[in-house]
Amino acid sequence: MSSTSYTIPSIVRASEQLTKEFAKLADKRAILRSKNLEALYAELRTLPNEEKATFGKELNALKSDINSWLNDADESAEKQAPIDVTAPQDINAAAPQLLPGETGTKHPLMTELEYMSDIAYRMGFAIEQSRLIDDDYHMFESLNFPEGHPARDDYDTFMTTEGLIAPAHTSTMQNRVLKKYAGNLEKGEPIAVLVPDRVFRNEDLDVTHEHTFYQYEGVFVGEGITVGNLIATLRTLLSEYFGQDLKAKLQPFYFPFTEPSFEFAIERPAALRKGDTEADMWLELLGCGMIHPNVLSAAGIDPVKYSGFAWGGGIERLVMMKYGIEDIRHFESGKLDFLRQFS
């Protein structure tokens, strides 16, 4: 019955006793309250710290096994008859019908990312995805954040117990796309890539903060690329997005992976303006800058011959403004009340 082999004697013993006990039980769930199991938890508490980890791991495995016994028991208790899975419909039943097309919806965030990607694609950008588990090299090191760099503090990253990283920005893809498209440069073509994907930040949720959200990262590298090109490209992309010609503004900033670095603001589209103060006029949309020569070098690109720019912005705020969505948490809520409004 047991699928795991244990090494700690008291767990091996308990596992055998629990197996026997389980077979005899009428109410199988009572196994969770077994003295044998409680004794193991009591033992765990008394162990010195260095032994706790190993013991805890085996105890968790045992718990997991017990859960699977319970699941199996549930299964056999209320077994449903097998069905002919090769048939298109059930015995004595009408052929199934798809739900009416008018109830179907795409997720608003996905619609918006596709929309943004389409604009970038028309501007000559290839579209790439990003990873959801990454490493320190792509999150920080290849982006000119050496170990211990204080700018790392600005990214509240989730880490796995192995030390892998849940990317806190789509910039994790910069090194990869620069390498992947390096051949463009030899052909006299720029590297132009947009990476729209999911990122994570270890922060508490409220109506405007999510630990899971989407960014769109842009990378553009070629010969003779200037700060003026950066401003023009972003202004064009966002004017196209909002469907009107917008003024743009740069604010100096600091990111280790761009030099110089900026925050990019556009003139707030009239429809989204609440008042007419300076703060109402501008909409800070993203961070950007000229790609740091160390980042280009890390990808094997000659920073003397080539230069380029990169940006990263969030998509949620754009969608929230567009539709007047009041709470960012609706996006990942799976609520049909919310989703079906986007048909």
Partner 1 sequence: MKVSLKLANQYSNVDFTAVSVDEILRRIGAQLGAVEEVIDYASRFKGVVIAKVVQCEKHPDADKLSVCLVDDGGVAQGVDRNADGLVQVVCGAPNVRAGITVAWLPPGSTVPSSVDKDPFVLGARELRGIVSNGMLASAMELGISEDHDGILVISDPGATPGSSLLNLFGLNDVIIDCENKMFTHRPDCFGVLGVARELAGITGQAFVSPDWYSQSAVSTVSPGGTLTLTGKNDITHKVPRFMVQVVEGVTMGPSSTQIQSWLSRLGSRPINNIVDATNFYMHLTAQPTHAFDYDKVKALCEDPENVVIFPRMAVEGEKIDLLNGKTITLTAEDIVIATDKQAIALGGVMGGAATEVDANTKNIIVECANFDMYTIRRTSMRHGLFTDAVTRFNKGQSPLQNAIVLQKLVADICEQTNAKAGVQYDSAPEESSFVLEPVAVSVDFVNARLGSSLTAEDMQTLLTNVEFLVEVSEGNLVVTPPFWRKDIEIVEDIVEEIGRLHGYDKLPIVLPMRTTAPAAKNPMLELKSALRSTLARAGANEIVTYSFVSGKLLEDASQNTSEAYQLGNALSPELQYYRLTLTPSLASKVYQNIRAGYDQFALFEIGKTHIKGQGVNDEGLPIENEVFSLVYAANDKKVVNGTGAAYFDAKQYLDFVARSLGLTLDFDPIDKDPAYEITKPYDIERSALVTDRSTGNYIGIVGEFKNSVRKKLKLPTHSAGFELMLSPILESITGTKRAYKPLARFPHIVQDITFKTAKEQQFGDLFEVVIEIAQQLAEGRGYVATVESRDIYHKEHSPQKHVTLRLDVHHPDRTLTTDEVTKFVDAIVTAVEQKLDVKRD
Q: Which is nearer to partner 1, 89 or 208 (CB)?
A: 89
Q: Position 14: which residue type?
A: A
Sheet holding 191-200, edge to edge: 126-127, 191-200, 212-223, 306-314, 282-291, 258-267, 248-255
Binding string, residues 266-305; x marks residues near partner 1 by CB under 8 A: ------------x-----------x-xx------------
Burial of 30 by CB count in 10 Å (0-12 exposed, 13-18 middle, 19+ buried)? exposed
Enclosing H/E stretch for 96 = none
The answer to whether 282 and 265 have CB atoms below 8 angstroms apart is yes
Q: What angle do CA 177, 182, 183 make, to 5 degrees?
A: 130
Report the 10 Å Cβ neighbour count for 292: 20
Q: Cβ of residue 301: shortest distance to partner 1, in angstroms?
A: 14
| CA 28 distance to own-chain centroid | 39
Residue 332 within binding range of partner 1, rule CB under 8 A: yes
* Contact stretch for partner 1 (CB under 8 A) within 35-43, 46-54, 216-224, 318-326: 216-224
The answer to whether 301 and 182 have CB atoms below 8 angstroms apart is yes
Query: What is each CA distance from 160 to 81, 235, 288, in whole angstroms?
Result: 42, 38, 28
Footprint of partner 1 on residues 174-213 (CB under 8 A)? 187-190, 192, 198, 200, 202, 204, 211-212
Residue 75 within binding range of partner 1, rule CB under 8 A: yes
Q: Cβ of residue 166: shortest distance to partner 1, in angstroms?
A: 7
Q: Cβ of residue 91: shortest distance to partner 1, in angstroms?
A: 4
Which one among 150, 243, 275, 324 touches partner 1, defined by CB under 8 A?
150
Residue 74 within binding range of partner 1, rule CB under 8 A: yes
According to DSSP, residue 3 is labeled -
Q: Which is nearer to partner 1, 227 or 321 (CB)?
A: 227
Q: Cβ of residue 238: shortest distance to partner 1, in angstroms?
A: 13
Residue 15 within binding range of partner 1, rule CB under 8 A: no
Contacts of 64 (CB under 8 A, 6+ apart): 4
Residue 161 within binding range of partner 1, rule CB under 8 A: yes
Residue 101 within binding range of partner 1, rule CB under 8 A: yes
Q: Cβ of residue 242: shortest distance to partner 1, in angstroms?
A: 17
The answer to whether 62 and 43 have CB atoms below 8 angstroms apart is no
Footprint of partner 1 on residues 80-99 (CB under 8 A)? 80-99
Please tell me the number of Cα atoms within 13 Å of 309 on its side-chain side.
23
Residue 225 within binding range of partner 1, rule CB under 8 A: yes
Residue 244 within binding range of partner 1, rule CB under 8 A: no
Distance CA 3, CA 11 (A): 14
Taking phi first (over 0 means left), then psi (-120 to 50 degrees means alpha), and beta for anything else, what does residue 243 get?
left
Q: Cβ of residue 321: shortest distance to partner 1, in angstroms?
A: 19
Footprint of partner 1 on residues 105-134 (CB under 8 A)? 105-107, 109-110, 114, 117, 121, 124-129, 131-134
Q: Which is nearer to partner 1, 182 or 248 (CB)?
A: 248
Q: Cβ of residue 261: shortest distance to partner 1, in angstroms?
A: 8
Q: Cβ of residue 110: shortest distance to partner 1, in angstroms?
A: 6
